[in-house]
Structure 1
Amino acid sequence: MVFWILTAFMALAVAGLMALVLLRSRDMGEPPAAYDLRVYRQQLRDVDKDLARGVINEADAGRIRTEVSRRILAADAQLQKDGGGANQPAGLSRGMALILVLALCGGTLALYANLGAPGYGDLALKTRIAMAEERAENRPSQAEAEAQVPPFPAPEVEDSYRQLVEQLRQTVAKRPNDAQGHALLAQHEANLGNFTAAHQAKARFIELMSGAVGASDFGELAELMIMATGGYVSPEAEAALVQTLKRDSENGAARYYYGLMQGQLDRPDRAYQIWAETLRTSAPGDPWVDGIQRQIEDMAFRAGVEYQPITPQGKPPLAGALPGPDAADVENAAAMSDEDRAEMVRGMVARLSDRLATEGGTVQEWARLIGALGVLGDTEQARAIYQEAQQTFTGDSAALELITAAARQAGVAE
């Protein structure tokens, strides 16, 4: 109710001001000729002043008086011809003011009815997180999403290449347990834009390899799934991304898609944290940098973060995210006392803590901070960081498992 009262007050205030201007301008006052007369008479007075100061001579003053007098006579004649100032009819002015008020208030209501969300109340943070979790649980599967995507336009390739791919399909069909054949088929199906067939072949390759695969294989599987759905990250694609990040937590492409998924699940806070850290530790030419830079400002706006441009540095942080000492720090530390070295470590931990509090970070950073505080014996701060991390990664079971393990090691969790 308060929203509607404020909205109505603002609309009426703006409309009232505009109507007041319209009504006050009904009387247009004196005609232009009257204003011209005042100007010309002032010019005559200025001529006398300039002559008295010696700025002009008597001959110039006479010519100027003659010209100005001629203009005065013309303006006076025009004034006599026009008569008084023109007035708009009072009824017309009031009618236009009423139409203006109704149009402004009615137009505002119509726009909000189409573009706004009438009846949509304020949502607490816990409610929004719960809604995001529900959306994650009930989102479409890979097959459902692919069924809704229109066919991809076929790329222009030579007929001979299509025939070779068809022969490869037939060969793989006859040899269903040939892992390398499926890997090759996945690559060529993707070249033809057959992303569904490509990710199916890639999944079969991973299955046949019985775990003897790397992060890049799961990352390729996730990317093929996402391309098959036109950019949507399905639960199956998420599982592939999780496997990728378990094997390589700094995989830039997987981190980009994982942040994209968080944005699709209405968790822009997580998406921004992931993308900001990925940008910070990526090289300028990395393929995922351009995609993040195009979307991160909008993601920051959705997350309520005042975005400051992040320049890719190309230098991943040492040991994950906890900043380590450089060569100069190591040399200086050799001559430090135990207390000074401990103070240096505390400074590094404090800097990481400040950055996580202001900019956010990855789950690995939160876990390392909790562990570092535990090593330093600051259990109260470690417990507070642990509780904050639990709220930040609510609903992410993999992240919570990593955070809880770090908290147990630090002695702040059961």
Structure 2
Amino acid sequence: MMIWAVFAVMTGAAIFALLWPLSRGQVPGFADTADARSLYRSQLGEIDRDMARGLIAAGEADAARAEAARRLLRVAGDEVAPAGETEPSLRRRRASSALMLSVVPLLALLIYGIYGSPDNPDQPLAARLEQAGPQQDFAVVFARMEAHLAANPTDTKGWSLIAPIYLRQGRYDDAANAFAAAMRNGKPDPNLFAGLGEARTLAAEGVVTASAREAFAEAVKRDPKNVRALYYLALAKEQDGDAPGAIASLNELLAGAPPDANWTAPVRDRLARLEAQAKGDAIAALPDAERAQAIKGMVDGLAQRLSAGGGTLADWSRLIRARAALGEKAEASQAARTARERLGQDAAALAALDALADELDLKEVKP
């Protein structure tokens, strides 16, 4: 009921604001008509005196006297005019008032009925926040953190907490600024230097820039086993074209990794790609005969590793393609059959192997 009372008060205020100008009569030019008549009579006397002293010419005096006389007559006419308004004017004002009194409330109710939700119950703020869930809670807390840091820019702990959040959100420039603020207002920490370097690298779309290298180098100087800094420095070597140096750095990083470290998998993948690329480059530089022998040795090594057990769809597909490329269709067909046996529980893998066999024309080849 309270909302309807508020609507009623607002509607009444709007109608009052519209009707107030219509309810007022014409305001006279002077509050006292007698004073106006006295003013104009005084002006006529002043004109006669000025003319007698020779201050104005006769023509100017006649014109001024005529103007003062007209104003005097106008005031005298307003005094004898009837105080009330004419009947047509009164009818127009009444019709306008009745129209506003009826149209404004009806129009307001119509608009609210179309765009509003009068049948929905109210929902307190606490209930809305509860339904929004943890994401809303995090957004509120994060906004408070940003407001706090804006008011307290020297809060080192706050900057060190918000910088990784910026990094995960993809706000790399903000993350770099936050890491820099944390180091500027507090004790430099190797993890902060590593975070600053990573933010600068990601802001440069994966390129380890000179400023990022400086941050990583400072992190390693303070902590020689800082994993993040060592990894990005290895990537910097790769970007510089020093593939052997990058491979050596990644091998050294993995050698010192704890057995349960969860970051070793992406590092091993990166190392495998680098080693494969390095082998490919080395093989490509060999003479034709030696190159063919080297490729054959690599394929045989892959086949031996897969025959010992395990292997993913990508590994088996690589072996099958390599055998077919070397003209060893019987071996390629056998590899396809073995792969189907090993990956028999994976329907998607079986479909991919069938498509590969069709592509390489291996279904009709007998072992």
| TM-score, structure 1 as length reference | 0.33
> Structure 1 or 2: larger helix share?
2
Structure having the higher Rg: 2
| TM-score, structure 2 as length reference | 0.37
